[in-house]
């Protein structure tokens, strides 16, 4: 598990529409953990928060911060979804 994997996931969600659509099918925490393991992007909740915090510090423009915030909130929403 790693912070870098979490950063890679966030970047992939930002830039890859097909990946994002695939992630929309994930159901809850267990489904999300399985999804990221299958993609060789395993990380834990603390590593995700660390990755987010590091990426926030790199944002130079408000729009970059807003986009990052939206992506992170989308990921959290998918993980929390217990359909």
pLDDT, tens only, 21-70: 999 999 889 999 999 999 999 999 999 999 999 999 999 999 999 999 99
CB neighbourhood size of 78 (10 A): 20
Residues 6+ apart with CB under 8 A from 63: none
What is residue 83's predicted lDDT score, i.e. its pLDDT? 54
- pTM score: 0.91
* Coil/strand/helix, residue 27: coil
- Cite the beta strand spans of the chain per DSSP E: none
């Amino acid at each position: 598990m790693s912070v870098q994997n979490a950063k890679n996931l966030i970047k992939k969600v930002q830039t890859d529409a097909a990946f994002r659509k695939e992630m929309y099918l994930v159901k809850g925490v267990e489904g999300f953990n399985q999804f990221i393991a299958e993609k060789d992007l395993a990380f834990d909740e603390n590593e995700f928060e660390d990755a987010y915090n590091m990426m926030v510090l790199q944002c130079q423009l408000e729009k970059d911060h807003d986009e990052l915030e939206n992506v992170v909130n989308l990921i959290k929403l998918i993980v929390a979804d217990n359909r």
